[in-house]
Amino acid sequence: MKVTILASGSKGNCTLIETDQNKILIYVGISYRLLNTRLKEVNVSLNDIDAIFITHEHTDHVQGLEKVLTHHNIYVALSHGTYEALVSDKKIGITYEHFNIIEPLEEVYLNDISILPIPLSHDANEPFGYVIKENNKKVVYLTDTGFVSQENEEYIKDADVYIFETNHNIEMLMMTKRPWSLIQRIIGDKGHLCNEDALNTLMRVVGKNTKVIYLAHISEEANNVDLLYLTVEEIFSKSEFYHSIKFIATHQYQITEPTII
């Protein structure tokens, strides 16, 4: 399985996961034009994509979806709540038959992989994270959540690769000029994970199989990559797995270093 993060951040998100029999996208949160450009950089075409898995309806996760579906016939999986939000907010004009409604904690099978949708806590309508498995390999995609429940910690334990939200440093967030209502939203239970909460969660779930942790959805204004890596060292230096895990900060404006497991 190969993981390539095409974009990650507040301005748009998209990840490509490739197996011997499948190529899937998590999110289409970048423009159609940019998606084609990034895919071309990794020698993939949208015509090669077998499925798109959507986590929730916010624009930075679905920006390019309608145009993709206008030009390509691709299986799209999402929660019923996300579908309703897309339609009611008129974020997308594509009709029901183009979508496949999936249920929380019910695995979806595509050739050689299974995808488990796990419910998250975010200010969206039925948002999902995903646990993707191929044979004995496991990738966890978890961003846009205010906290990670104990139940979800069980589902995401000992993955080979984590794509995990480390959105903000609380002190930096407080120093921004954002309205207090927005700050409260971000730090709330339906907001985004701060560096410390994310890394402490990861500390509890990583295991001997864990090889790579992508630090994802990093705020440009309320976070700093150097500070984030210092926080990784501070928290993970206590872990027996620290020296066997590679930590990679994801990028908004370029493709992040891919991982093959």
Report pLDDT digits (tens) over 214-245: 999 999 999 999 999 999 999 999 899 999 99
User: Is the pLDDT at 59 greater than 90, yes or no?
Assistant: no
**DSSP-assigned letters across all residues of 145-189:** -S---HHHHHHTTT-SEEEEE--B-HHHHHTS---HHHHHHHHST
Residue 99: what pLDDT? 86
Pick the closest to residue 122 from 143, 104, 93 (CA basis): 143
Residue 31: what pLDDT? 96
- What's the rounded mean pLDDT across residues 7-17? 96
Cα–Cα distance between 85 and 125 in angstroms, integer?
Answer: 6
Q: 163: which 2 tokens? A: 């794509």
Q: 228: which 2 tokens? A: 């984030």
3-state class of 141 per DSSP?
A: strand
Residue 201: what pLDDT? 98
User: Is the pLDDT at 75 greater than 60, yes or no?
Assistant: yes
| Backbone phi and psi for residue 101, each to the nearest 5 degrees, phi listed first | -80, 125
What is the CATH code of the structural domain delimited by 2-255?
Answer: 3.60.15.10
User: Is the pLDDT at 89 greater than 70, yes or no?
Assistant: no
% of residues, the chain, pLDDT over 90: 89
Given a contact cutoff of 8 angstroms between Cβ atoms, the answer to whether 102 and 75 are in contact is no
Contacts of 162 (CB under 8 A, 6+ apart): 139, 140, 142, 156, 202, 206, 210, 212, 213, 214
Given a contact cutoff of 8 angstroms between Cβ atoms, the answer to whether 228 and 215 are in contact is yes
- Interhelix angle for 225-236 vs 195-205, to 10°? 40
Expressed in angstroms, the distance from the first to the final Cα of the chain is: 5
Contacts of 127 (CB under 8 A, 6+ apart): 55, 56, 79, 81, 82, 119, 120, 121, 144, 145
Confidence tier at 86 by pLDDT (50, 70, 90): confident
- What's the rounded mean pLDDT across residues 65-86? 91
Contacts of 88 (CB under 8 A, 6+ apart): none
- CA contacts within 13 A on the Cβ side of 65: 37
Domain spans of the chain, in order of start? 2-255
User: Is the pLDDT at 97 greater than 90, yes or no?
Assistant: no
Other CB atoms within 10 A of residue 238 CB: 8
Residue 96: what pLDDT? 54
Mean pLDDT across the chain, nearest whole number?
94
Residue 91: what pLDDT? 62
User: Is the pLDDT at 98 greater than 80, yes or no?
Assistant: no
Given a contact cutoff of 8 angstroms between Cβ atoms, the answer to whether 30 and 3 are in contact is no
